[in-house]
Structure 1
């Protein structure tokens, strides 16, 4: 016993400086990643994919075949009003339904088959009560993300309204050339002839969290892997006798079993892989069995969940083993701070600043979320994010193995053991 009062350590400047630097940097990084990614999504919006469909069959007007739908889609596609924020994709109705059902489009604008005939009918002399106002349909897609769907809806509705005004100018000019004067109400209607309706382009079940259950489910998988890695790392160290294990007022300690760093990581990873079977099962039981989340393809969802937890956990174990005590901070930054804003769940990837879009290409949460979305919302279609999810998880596992075992093997070869091996002193000859 030194006899020095414990609270005297609070006078030590290095204690304050070291902890101040670590906690301060952590607070700053979390703020930058979370707030910076979402502070102005509209300004950072770039090439948000939105479908543009012309199903208009056209009509004969004054002896000429006219297709107003083609004029509308062409003018919207060439419009510079939205800059490069919206990526208008001209396609047919079948292709739009397919891409909405794969999460590749955030919305769409559809010109119906009778648009020209219904619109040109407004130039007739009939009373407004007998006229059928043409309709432009805006399709939303919450399964691709609520904010992305909202941004697409706003842009598409504005484009539809502007198109209606442009068509109205042409019809107004046409109605004034040698035709009977229309009633005042008809002229008002003619100036803005089309109504805009909003429909759900890819309806979800009621217990799908408005398209967010996939994100939160994936987040649970990543957090389970990350936190379990911290628990497993500590328990393996205790089982090998490297650390004490405090249980309330009790302190437990086991005899030391010397293990190389590579062996320790192999033991921890094996334990993580085995326990992932339990955790993946319980996550499904909690989400589907207890909370009633809508889900399909349950065997595939279970397998994907188990693999996601295992890969996330082994990746976290690798960082803990390589970096030691600071490893938990690195794990938190990689799996939470940088991952959540770049997952494409709340803010679409297309609305993130360039740096965050770069991070989203390899951040684990985004890849896992894409696979879960495919299973939950898109009938487990491979090109709806499931293939990318599997491939990126395999790549992540390979990268963790190469990095972890490679660095730890180097530590072992250099003799950088966790507890230095004691060497016996050399015997010297005793002189008579």
Structure 2
């Protein structure tokens, strides 16, 4: 593969930005087409309705972003992000117990999604061979026999006509609403098989003041439910602008109201009183905003017998998780890492772009398997969840239930679990004898705190 090529990325969200950073090292030009209007600040975008709510970038994702954009973490913290140690600064109530709080060195930054995306977008715009075109919708693929050869675009600017943009590689990072299955069908291909886990999650989010001298026995707070009967969650995170972001949510249609009294009563109903106490005494800065997420979805492009050359699908276009688990941005970073590996190997071996794209299509699902099993499997703990549960889900949920209980009294189990949850380690590590032995040989039951 030589550099005399052009890549097009559909979608200027975090997945598209991370992919563009990788592509810039291997292509003469990279063009990102984004349907939203982009401004040079941390304003939420219309096309990312969940952007106004709590987002987590787990340690593995933050590390990968730092590798692509050296100094990003420092920029975030200098701009107001809060840096916290997950096993020490988080107060985490889960499955009826408070997890231990011990040092581990697993530090992440807490900020709003628009703030993080804005910083990444600014860094991408500094790359000389990357162009970001906003207010522009991709209407369909341009294609020749057996290959995607570009995209047909429609600018939102007055009087603009449809235009075909040629590309040697097209990357779909357009998100959950990806049109790739439909466009492939129009080209004569089958739609990819898909798994759907219907969770019907809904939540409400509100910002509160975070005075500089305010003191709490925690720097972040999570109160999670005990399935199958408990369905309500609450989260308090510090974010930029000296604010707290508070999210209340529930599974299987148990959604919070939006009015002040209703929100407070919802917080009172959580399994521990701490978020209710916090909200009762804190100073609200905004009204609450709501969001509803219907289902986890995963598209199996790797199973298609026929697939066009010149096309890569990644991010939420490929696999969309329940956002409550905060896996989306980190898996997008893993997708970009996989893309880099495939491009570098292809350049070394002299492979064609189509061979590289096909290698990515086969390789990236292996990286998605662990987070998909953890999210989809966890959601199957609730009886109102419907869908194709990953194989072995009942056994895994039984096992992880005992791991959560042990994490309330065994610091090594806690740290191992948090490393897996942050995608630093493979889930295989949670079956290490140091965890497996106490799970199987002694009671992991812990009385409710």
Q: TM-score, normalised by structure 2?
A: 0.21
Question: Larger C-alpha radius of gyration, 1 or 2?
Answer: 1
The structure carrying a bigger strand percent of its residues is 2
Q: Which structure is higher in helix share?
A: 1
Higher relative contact order (CA 8 A, sep 6+): 2
